[in-house]
Structure 1
Amino acid sequence: MYLNKVVKHIVILILVINFSCNKSKEPLKIDKKVDYLNYSKNILDYRITPKDSIDKSGLMFSDQGAWFAYGFPNSISSYGGFSGPFLMTQQNGIWSSPSLAKLQLKNVEWKAIETNSFNSHLEQTFKSKNIELKQELVFSSGHTAIIRSTITNKSNSNIKIEYQWGNQGLLTKNLTLSSTKNRLKITSSKSTATGYLLFPNETVISSSKTTYTTVPTTLELKPNEFKELIVSQTFIFPEYSWEQEKKEVLKSNFELVLKARKLEKEEQLAHLISNQKKQFIAKKYSEALAKSILTLQNNWRIPAGELKFEGLFPSYHYKWFNGFWSWDSWKHAVGLSYFNIELAKNQIRAMFDFQSEDGFVVDCIYRDTNIEPHNYRDTKPPLSAWAVVKIFEKDNNLKFVKELYPKLKKYHYWWYNKRDHDKDGLCEYGSTDGTLIAAKWESGMDNAIRFDDSIILKNEEGAYSLNQESVDLNAYLYAEKLYLAQLAEAIQKNEDVEVYKNEAEILKTRIQNQFYDTKDGWFYDTNLEGNKFIKGEGSEGWIPLWANVVSKKQAETVKNLIMDPKKFFTKVPFQTMSADHPKFNPLKGYWRGPNWLDQAYFGVKGLRNYNFNTEADLATVKILEGAEGILGKGKSIRENYHPITGEGLNAQNFSWSAAHIIMLLTD
């Protein structure tokens, strides 16, 4: 289990080099006086002892893109192991066991428990009168977590301690246990992934199909003497080699793995916190950044099954979000670009891996299509070129731009080929299967009031449009033209640069003239003819400001409305529709009232684009301090928020919310 001193130094050097390669082009100057990792201490509450396989009453810790996660036992009576693991390797995520590797010390009465979590690892300490048991869990890879249990004699006398491992039964009939010597194997009828638990060499295991125990072992400790016990838990898909992973586990050193993981997280946090806007430099905002990184980390998954590149779930905590979505992916990538460039790039690659010949990018993709099929019924709003530019700004990697540019270009013009019903140069949301619901999904704002009376129209076989031209869609396309021009210029596609700029200039005039209501001072969707507004002030009305496509006068009127407390400047500002609208309903509305942080960010960034920086700063503070759980420790970042009360709504541990918190504080 241990490396010699020379190999230790080589390994740690390699780890440092590898982690450094994930950062931006600029060398990072870490302030040695700052303990950046401490910003993440107990930032999320992982206490849960699962009662059944689908218990979602608590949060879970994961790292390195693993498809499994852990929690802390929520009482002394559940001592001896970490909760779980929670397996995202099968179904829509299940708990395997209350504690799959529970270490039992005979005749010890525990008096206290202390738990601490960091972005790098989990640790828990159990104390009795004479004995202390400290357990630490760290992910060594995307397949394996290693647990170190340290038993210390705190008395003044020699003590004999009898210990053994076991589980508290499995929480699902779909898993089966089998054992050989010091190894436990876990197979599943619902997944191709296999689990392996490796115990110390002297361990002897006795198991049935659902339970196991190890033969009790006795050790004697002198006063202040301690004994370390190492157990590894691996859950690995067949496209990876268990034999190779086992070799890595057996030669690993827990202390080196832990140090490497701490270094990695310290650098990520330092990189992000050092990029904070000056007006938001404060401990509470640095902690919010630490929570945001951890939210993204807990949703990170390595390639498996249908997914050929790593990326992020929207939320592991909600059973229908165990896949990658295109719109989410573009936003995740921008947030990730501030501290993990390679993961940001792979999140983009994951979606374009499913690009069709005509340029279409699928809405969402999954590891296992037996659980959920990929959604080819629609795509999502075009923000991919924005994401690639934001990545390029961090590392100036022309190779990545050259790789993605033709795909981005093809996707951009797909909109004009398949979603411009009247061929007037303005696009509509739509679907591939002709259904109205999929066309609404394509907007990303599923049930927004602007679609209440929409009708679906056929463009051609496999291509349908709504009977309305959407202001946000065309503003996104305007921004994409300028982002594509920027990328084309970087790789010297000069003939393309002029085309994009000319197209953008024409589109700019169309947006300013067709979608802006001079009477209301707001941007609305219109009918196909462009002579009738689809009224109802929603967040789509400030997307043109984010795209920087409006006149200063138009920006001024929109600014005045979104800063109105009766409309959008609520406790959590810039929600999806005006608070004074009769259909405003945050609790049951989804996109009819809640605050989604992506839309709130677009509003703030839109203000900054027109130098309304005082208003942008005020809105940023209100968003971060009004939304429940963004600041402070314990609660997770939510899918959306009640704009009047600040209550967190819907899914917990939501990735794009975390990504936009990063943008609000740094961009």
Structure 2
Amino acid sequence: MSDEELVKRVRHLLHRNMISGERDGFAYHFTKPSPETYPFQFFWDTCFHVFTLAALGEVDMAKKHMRSLFQMQRPDGFVGHMSYWKRLWPGRITDLLQLRPEDVLKLHKPHMSALVQPPLAAQAVLRIYQGDEDLGFVKEMLPRLKKFYRWLAANRDFEGEGLLSIISPFESGMDWKASYDPVLGYDRGKAGPLLFWKVLQVDAHNFLKNYNLPELYKSNKFIVKDVGFNTVYAQNLEALAELCAILGDEDEAHFREQASITGQSILQRMFDEKDAAFYDLHGHHFDKLKVRTGTLFFPVVLKAVPKEVCQRVLERHLLHKDGFHVPFPVPSLAIDEPAFNPNESLYLWRGPTWVMFNWFIQEHLLEKGYTEEAGNLLQSVKQLISKSGFREYYDPFTGAGHGAEDFTWSGLVVDMMERQRQHNA
């Protein structure tokens, strides 16, 4: 498939999955990640769609997506990981438990979930600005963004060290991630029905506690500091500072300082010297969850991580592929971990390759001079799409497509192509 044909197909995919309308005074406009499997507006999916739309030159459409995402923002700044617009009833029992009890009584009108997702919003708005330099849009979105990131700091940085905790496996965006198994008391390696019930118990516990965050922290049932989530948080604090700088906003220094604090805490708390890996943490004592998932190299993109640490992590796990040596990288779990399963399954993020990993790390590889390696990640994504179409995830050995069909995350390939083009120019 030529690059021109691939871009054409990505554009068609996003427009085919788009939906817009008005309901109860709200105007919504978003792209379904998958028309059948994921018909709602998701937080970080919307941000991925912004990157893709910007790469396609459709900046105005990207703005509509971000406005829709923040339409129901609460006065305290909170924005849920799912927004229910046209279809108001959750599709799964797990989704129902991810609502605040009071919102279960309001399913007749638009509402949000009680969970969060990796906070990519500031980077998404910055990417839009880079597309058309519309100061008006930045002025419109900056107050909303500042309230959102202040809410995260006030409500999820329980220890005041700059690291955010998630309260459900679904908040990292990487459902059923194998590093959470020890927290859930699951020790059987490969996922099965028992794991489902253990995760369901977490969301039921949160629901019964009415999502009272101090109470949830005290109970310590599922308090996890995810490497990927916190890396994204640090990146977006930097992006928020950039947006403040664009407008001459006085909070620029504050958000830069917050980004630095988070980056330093990631390095000090999450990095394992012996394994040259960044691990998720759990509980009140920051215990490392030593399971090699695909996020173990994410923090190499941060300013706070020294060059020699970045090189060690990349050389060992990505370039020499210690546990990640597959024909179609990057697998979501090291192939020699007991939980590894490359096949289609209800239990996601336990082996298959997701385009997001390649997209996330490619930019850093280009910046650090790993041009060939970055190109290889892009080429792998192109081959996956050519072979199996736009799928939710792929078998890392065969490239077979699995999960949801007409899945928009694979559209990030056009952003990867634009990055590579700009780097080579």
Identify the TM-score tier after normalising by the shorter chain: 0.7 to 0.9
Structure 2 residue aligned with 1:333: 50
Structure 2 residue aligned with 1:24: none
Instruction: Please give the alpha-carbon distance, in whole angstroms, between the structure 2 residues aligned to 1:299 and 1:358.
Output: 31
Deviation at residue 378 of structure 1 after TM alignment? 0.6
Instruction: Please give the alpha-carbon distance, in whole angstroms, between the structure 2 residues aligned to 1:519 and 1:326.
Output: 35
What are the equivalent positions in structure 2 for 1:52-91 lying under 5 Å apart?
none
Structure 1 residue aligned with 2:297: 542
Q: Is residue 311 from structure 1 mapped to residue 63 from structure 2 by the alignment?
A: no
Match of 2:179 among 450, 468, 491: 450
Deviation at residue 321 of structure 1 after TM alignment? 1.5
Deviation at residue 285 of structure 1 after TM alignment? 2.5
Instruction: Please give the alpha-carbon distance, in whole angstroms, between the structure 2 residues aligned to 1:618 and 1:527.
Output: 34
What are the equivalent positions in structure 2 for 1:151-300 lying under 5 Å apart?
284-300=2-18
TM-score by length of 2: 0.81
Deviation at residue 646 of structure 1 after TM alignment? 0.4
Structure 1 residue aligned with 2:79: 361
Structure 2 residue aligned with 1:425: 162
Q: Any idea what the Cα deviations from partners look like across 1:527-549, whole Å, max 9, x if unmatched?
A: 34555310111122122124454
The amino acid of 1:505's aligned partner reads S
The amino acid of 2:53's aligned partner reads L
Q: Is residue 342 from structure 1 mapped to residue 342 from structure 2 by the alignment?
A: no
Corresponding residue pairs, total: 368
Q: Is residue 639 from structure 1 mapped to residue 392 from structure 2 by the alignment?
A: yes
Deviation at residue 369 of structure 1 after TM alignment? 4.6
Judged with a 3 Å threshold, the aligned counterparts in structure 2 of structure 1 residues 525 and 576 are, in CA distance, closer, same or farther, namely same
Q: Which range moves more in the overlay, 512-521 or 299-308?
A: 299-308
Deviation at residue 643 of structure 1 after TM alignment? 0.7
Q: Is residue 382 from structure 1 mapped to residue 111 from structure 2 by the alignment?
A: no
Q: Any idea what the Cα deviations from partners look like across 1:607-654, whole Å, max 9, x if unmatched?
A: 2243322211122212322x1xx127xx63111111111000111111
Judged with a 3 Å threshold, the aligned counterparts in structure 2 of structure 1 residues 549 and 663 are, in CA distance, closer, same or farther, namely farther
Q: Is residue 663 from structure 1 mapped to residue 381 from structure 2 by the alignment?
A: no
Question: What RMSD over aligned residues (CA atoms) do the two structures have, in Å?
Answer: 2.3
Whether the 8 Å contact between 2:34 and 2:405 is mirrored in structure 1 is yes
The amino acid of 1:292's aligned partner reads V
Structure 2 residue aligned with 1:506: 261
SS in 1 for 2:2: helix
The amino acid of 2:396's aligned partner reads P
Q: Is residue 654 from structure 1 mapped to residue 372 from structure 2 by the alignment?
A: no
Deviation at residue 661 of structure 1 after TM alignment? 0.8
Structure 2 residue aligned with 1:41: none
SS in 2 for 1:301: strand
Judged with a 3 Å threshold, the aligned counterparts in structure 2 of structure 1 residues 453 and 582 are, in CA distance, closer, same or farther, namely closer
Deviation at residue 315 of structure 1 after TM alignment? 1.2
Structure 2 residue aligned with 1:129: none
SS in 2 for 1:321: coil
Judged with a 3 Å threshold, the aligned counterparts in structure 2 of structure 1 residues 569 and 344 are, in CA distance, closer, same or farther, namely farther
Instruction: Please give the alpha-carbon distance, in whole angstroms, between the structure 1 residues aligned to 2:307 and 2:301.
Output: 13
Instruction: Please give the alpha-carbon distance, in whole angstroms, between the structure 2 residues aligned to 1:371 and 1:504.
Output: 37
Structure 2 residue aligned with 1:42: none
Q: Which has the higher strand share?
A: 1
Instruction: Please give the alpha-carbon distance, in whole angstroms, between the structure 2 residues aligned to 1:517 and 1:578.
Output: 16
Instruction: Please give the alpha-carbon distance, in whole angstroms, between the structure 2 residues aligned to 1:650 and 1:508.
Output: 34
What are the equivalent positions in structure 2 for 1:558-573 lying under 5 Å apart?
558-560=313-315, 561-565=317-321, 567-573=323-329
Match of 1:473 among 216, 229, 250: 229
SS in 2 for 1:537: coil
Judged with a 3 Å threshold, the aligned counterparts in structure 2 of structure 1 residues 568 and 624 are, in CA distance, closer, same or farther, namely farther
Instruction: Please give the alpha-carbon distance, in whole angstroms, between the structure 1 residues aligned to 2:29 and 2:355.
Output: 24
Structure 2 residue aligned with 1:40: none
Instruction: Please give the alpha-carbon distance, in whole angstroms, between the structure 2 residues aligned to 1:555 and 1:389.
Output: 25
Instruction: Please give the alpha-carbon distance, in whole angstroms, between the structure 2 residues aligned to 1:533 and 1:551.
Output: 21
Q: Which has the larger radius of gyration?
A: 1
Whether the 8 Å contact between 1:638 and 1:653 is mirrored in structure 2 is yes
Instruction: Please give the alpha-carbon distance, in whole angstroms, between the structure 2 residues aligned to 1:530 and 1:610.
Output: 34
Whether the 8 Å contact between 1:573 and 1:622 is mirrored in structure 2 is yes
Whether the 8 Å contact between 2:40 and 2:87 is mirrored in structure 1 is no
Deviation at residue 506 of structure 1 after TM alignment? 2.4
Deviation at residue 332 of structure 1 after TM alignment? 0.4
Instruction: Please give the alpha-carbon distance, in whole angstroms, between the structure 2 residues aligned to 1:547 and 1:568.
Output: 22
Unaligned runs of 5+ in 2: 91-106, 185-201, 420-425
The amino acid of 1:654's aligned partner reads F
Judged with a 3 Å threshold, the aligned counterparts in structure 2 of structure 1 residues 288 and 541 are, in CA distance, closer, same or farther, namely same
Instruction: Please give the alpha-carbon distance, in whole angstroms, between the structure 1 residues aligned to 2:126 and 2:64.
Output: 14
Instruction: Please give the alpha-carbon distance, in whole angstroms, between the structure 1 residues aligned to 2:127 and 2:283.
Output: 33
Structure 1 residue aligned with 2:361: 603
Structure 1 residue aligned with 2:95: none
Judged with a 3 Å threshold, the aligned counterparts in structure 2 of structure 1 residues 609 and 512 are, in CA distance, closer, same or farther, namely farther
The amino acid of 1:414's aligned partner reads W
Whether the 8 Å contact between 2:32 and 2:38 is mirrored in structure 1 is yes
Structure 2 residue aligned with 1:462: 212
Deviation at residue 655 of structure 1 after TM alignment? 1.2
Structure with greater contact order relative to length (CA < 8 Å, sep ≥ 6): 2
Structure 1 residue aligned with 2:99: none
Q: Any idea what the Cα deviations from partners look like across 1:138-171, whole Å, max 9, x if unmatched?
A: xxxxxxxxxxxxxxxxxxxxxxxxxxxxxxxxxx
The amino acid of 1:447's aligned partner reads W
Structure 2 residue aligned with 1:414: 151
What are the equivalent positions in structure 2 for 1:559-598 lying under 5 Å apart?
559-560=314-315, 561-565=317-321, 567-587=323-343, 588=345, 589-598=347-356
Whether the 8 Å contact between 2:161 and 2:261 is mirrored in structure 1 is no
The amino acid of 1:454's aligned partner reads V
Q: Which has the higher helix share?
A: 2
The amino acid of 2:354's aligned partner reads W
Q: Any idea what the Cα deviations from partners look like across 1:344-389, whole Å, max 9, x if unmatched?
A: 0111111100111111112212333554454423121100001000
Deviation at residue 336 of structure 1 after TM alignment? 0.5
Judged with a 3 Å threshold, the aligned counterparts in structure 2 of structure 1 residues 549 and 655 are, in CA distance, closer, same or farther, namely farther
Unaligned runs of 5+ in 1: 1-282, 431-438
Instruction: Please give the alpha-carbon distance, in whole angstroms, between the structure 2 residues aligned to 1:323 and 1:461.
Output: 22
Whether the 8 Å contact between 2:329 and 2:396 is mirrored in structure 1 is yes
Instruction: Please give the alpha-carbon distance, in whole angstroms, between the structure 2 residues aligned to 1:416 and 1:447.
Output: 25
Whether the 8 Å contact between 1:586 and 1:593 is mirrored in structure 2 is yes
